[in-house]
Chain A
Amino acid sequence: MSWTEKYRPQTVKEMVGNEDARITFLEWLVNWKNGSKPVLLVGPPGVGKTTLVKAIVKELGYDIVELNASDVRTKENLQSIIPPLLSNASISGKKILLFLDEVDGLSGRGDRGGFATLISLLKEPNVPIVLAANAEVGEQIKELRKVSTMIRFKRIPPRLLLLYLDHVLKSENAKMSVGDKLRLVTISSGDVRTLLNESQSLATAGFSEGLHPVSFSIDIDKAMTSFFVAEKVEDALDILMRSEGFYNDPRFPGYDSEKRRTDKLAALFSSIVTSNVDIERLAEMLGALAYADVLVGQMGRTRQWRLLRYIDIILAYKLFKESRGLAYNQYDVPFVLMNRVFREARLIREIIANIAKQLHTSRRNAATYYLPYLLVILAKSKIDIEEFLEVNNMDSSLGDVIKNEASRVSKK
Chain B
Amino acid sequence: MIKILLGNWFNLPRVGPDVFSKLMRQARLKYDREKRMFLVESATNVTVLTAILKEALKDDVIIELPCFVCGKSAGCSECEFVDVCDRTSVSDQCICKGCSEEDAYKHYCDTFMEKLAAAKIKI
Contact = CB atoms under 8 A, between A and B. Distances in A.
Contacts of A18: 91
A12 interface: yes
A30 B121 contact: yes
B41 to A, nearest CB: 9
B95 A20 contact: no
Interface string A17-61: 111111110110010000000000000000100000000100110
Interface stretch (A163-171, A197-205, A213-221, A322-330): A163-171
Interface stretch (A150-158, A299-307, A378-386, A396-404): A150-158
Contacts of B81: 157-159, 182, 185-186
Interface majority SS (helix, strand, loop, mixed), chain A: helix
A14 interface: yes
Contacts of B104: 163, 166
Nearest to A166: B105
B90 A190 contact: yes
A157 B65 contact: yes
Contacts of A22: 112
B90 A155 contact: yes
Nearest to B118: A23
A163 B85 contact: no
Contact of B100 (A19, A27, A153, A163): A163
Given A19-B112, A26-B116, A155 B91 contact: yes
A162 B101 CA distance: 12
Interface in A119-163: 151-160, 162-163
Interface string B57-82: 00000000100100000100001110
Contacts of B26: none
A97 to B, nearest CB: 14
A309 interface: no
Contact of B119 (A23, A56, A153): A23
B85 to A, nearest CB: 5
Contacts of A259: none
B123 A157 contact: no
B31 interface: no
Q: Report, as a range, how many residues of chain A touch the other chain.
A: 35 or more
A29 B45 CA distance: 26
Nearest to A24: B42
Nearest to B68: A19
A169 B92 CA distance: 25
B84 to A, nearest CB: 5
B72 to A, nearest CB: 14
Contacts of A47: 91
B109 interface: yes
A166 B102 CA distance: 11
Looking at A13, A21, A190, the one whose CB has the most chain B CB atoms below 10 A away is: A13
Nearest to A27: B121
Nearest to A161: B81
B122 interface: yes
A18 B108 CA distance: 13
Contacts of B122: 30
B113 interface: yes
Looking at B91, B108, B109, B122, the one whose CB has the most chain A CB atoms below 10 A away is: B91
A367 interface: no
Contact of B95 (A14, A26, A160, A190): A160
Contacts of A154: 89-92
A156 B7 CA distance: 16
A89 B72 CA distance: 47
Contacts of B93: 19-20, 157
B39 interface: no
B121 A186 contact: no
A24 B29 CA distance: 19
A158 B85 contact: yes
A155 B89 contact: yes
Looking at B90, B100, B112, B116, the one whose CB has the most chain A CB atoms below 10 A away is: B90
Contacts of A151: 42
Looking at B74, B89, B105, the one whose CB has the most chain A CB atoms below 10 A away is: B105
Interface of B: 42-43, 65, 68, 74, 79-81, 84-87, 89-95, 100, 104-105, 108-110, 112-113, 115-116, 119, 121-123
9 contacts: A17-B91, A18-B91, A19-B68, A19-B93, A59-B123, A157-B94, A159-B94, A163-B108, A182-B80
Given A162-B100, A166-B105, A182-B81, 20 more contacts: A13-B110, A19-B68, A22-B112, A26-B116, A27-B119, A27-B121, A30-B121, A59-B123, A151-B42, A154-B90, A155-B91, A158-B90, A159-B85, A160-B108, A163-B100, A166-B104, A182-B80, A185-B81, A186-B81, A190-B89
